[in-house]
Amino acid sequence: MKRAVFIYSSELEKYHYPPEHPFNTDRAKKLRALLHSMGMFDGPGRSEAAPVVAQRGVLEKFHSARYLDALQTAATGKWDLEALEMGIGTSDCPVFKGLYEYSSLATGATVVGAELILSDKTDIAFNPSGGCHHAGPEKASGFCYINDVALACAILAEKGRKVLYLDVDVHHGDGVAYGFYDRPDVMTISIHQNPRTLFPGTGFEEEIGTGAGKGYCVNIPVPVGTYDQAYMKAFEALVLPLAGAFNPDVIVFELGADGLAADPLANLRLTNNVYADIINHLLELGRPILATGGGGYNVENTVRAWALAWSVFCGDDKNDAAIHALGGVMLESTEWMGGLRDRQIPITDSQRSAVLHALDATIDKIKKQVFTIHGL
């Protein structure tokens, strides 16, 4: 039986991005309410933990003092050109009330997860308020101010753990990838929509790390329209062998759900079954997993995907058909009784061949560049 901790505090509910902004901080609250209503905190081994605000000393493991000063100052209303040059106060990363408090608390939730894993108090930790993978050491970017996942990798690596960072958010996990670009102790793998078609415009196959880190950064760009079976083909062809060869001590898993079909910001055709399949593969590696949220701008679909993820982490998805029926009732989706799982999306032959043509070329390219480095 896996021990699983859900990390959340109602303190997080106090903060909101501006109303016109796509990032919805209420997703974690809705997820927790759904999990409670479905009794999904009741089984053996599972528990809840509260985050602790991440302090400056922790944040400085990834961010510069100058940047944190600017962020803290902007959040009190004193925003200037220097802050703007660091991405603070753009339309993507607006200044809002409680910005610093929110970011350092949401980050603290991921840090708590890393600490619970380091002290062997849990096998799985899930912080749905985390996953701010775009923030750089001195840059707010892509709705992200403090890079909690990069910090978690830094904290785990500092304690001598080999970290596999896997990012399935539809956008390139640039902040983390470049943060560990020259290091062989943190392998970053990001699967994301073709950067020619989506923010942040980076994460090509050729970006494989540098120096001692060469081969330890893996970018898997997938074409517009990528569907479940194609996505899993890339995952199985690339991620599974690389993860096996790297043999990590711990996995940090950024589970942005914006790859789902009908996400308003992206163009893939995934269903949440993909995330369940990936989690089952990760569980088979037998290593602790620190999972976070991330993107996901269709709120209902995102909440359901993360609820499904929690059920798979806890082993419910395999064992309990009742959960499926109950999910359908709780979500008031009267026509669909599949519960938390999305129904399959039909793919036409021309959609299939367009995706596979590009995807097969990507898989080959990555194998050629990275596999030999790992003896594959």
What is the set of active-site residues?
134
CA pair distance 278, 267, nearest whole angstrom: 20
> Which neighbouring-strand residues pair with 141?
144
Within 10 angstroms of residue 57's Cβ, the number of other Cβ atoms is: 7
Nearer Cβ to Zn ion, position 106 or 370?
Answer: 106
> Which neighbouring-strand residues pair with 51?
none
CA pair distance 4, 127, nearest whole angstrom: 11
Q: Is 173 in the site for Zn ion (CB under 5 A)?
A: no
| Binding segment toward Zn ion, per CB under 5 A, in 77-85, 174-182, 252-260, 305-313 | 252-260
Between residue 279 and residue 318, which ones bind Zn ion under the rule CB under 5 A? 295
| Binding segment toward Zn ion, per CB under 5 A, in 15-23, 210-218, 254-262, 312-320 | 254-262
Nearer Cβ to Zn ion, position 223 or 256?
Answer: 256
210, HSE (Cβ side, Cα atoms, 13 Å): 6
**Exposed, middle or buried, 315 (CB in 10 Å: 0-12/13-18/19+)?**
middle
Nearer Cβ to Zn ion, position 175 or 295?
Answer: 295
Q: Is 133 in the site for Zn ion (CB under 5 A)?
A: no
Interhelix angle 27-37/299-313, nearest 10 degrees: 50
Residue choice 139, 171, 172, 341 for contact with Zn ion (CB under 5 A) = 171
Which secondary structure element, helix H or strand E, spans residue 49, and what is its range?
strand 46-49
Residue choice 115, 123, 258, 263 for contact with Zn ion (CB under 5 A) = 258
Q: Is 169 in the site for Zn ion (CB under 5 A)?
A: yes
DSSP 210: -
Nearest CA-CA partner of 128 in 45, 13, 266? 13
Q: Which residue is nearest to Zn ion (CB)?
A: 295
Minimum distance from residue 36 beta carbon to Zn ion (Å): 27
Minimum distance from residue 144 beta carbon to Zn ion (Å): 9
Nearer Cβ to Zn ion, position 108 or 295?
Answer: 295
CA angle at 22 for the pair 31 and 86, rounded to the nearest 5°? 115
Minimum distance from residue 345 beta carbon to Zn ion (Å): 20
Minimum distance from residue 127 beta carbon to Zn ion (Å): 16
| Binding segment toward Zn ion, per CB under 5 A, in 91-99, 121-129, 248-256, 312-320 | 248-256
**Distant-in-sequence, close-in-space partners of 117: CB < 8 Å, separation ≥ 6:** 123, 125, 156, 250, 288, 290
Residue choice 256, 293, 327, 339 for contact with Zn ion (CB under 5 A) = 256
The footprint of Zn ion (CB under 5 A) covers 169, 171, 256, 258, 295
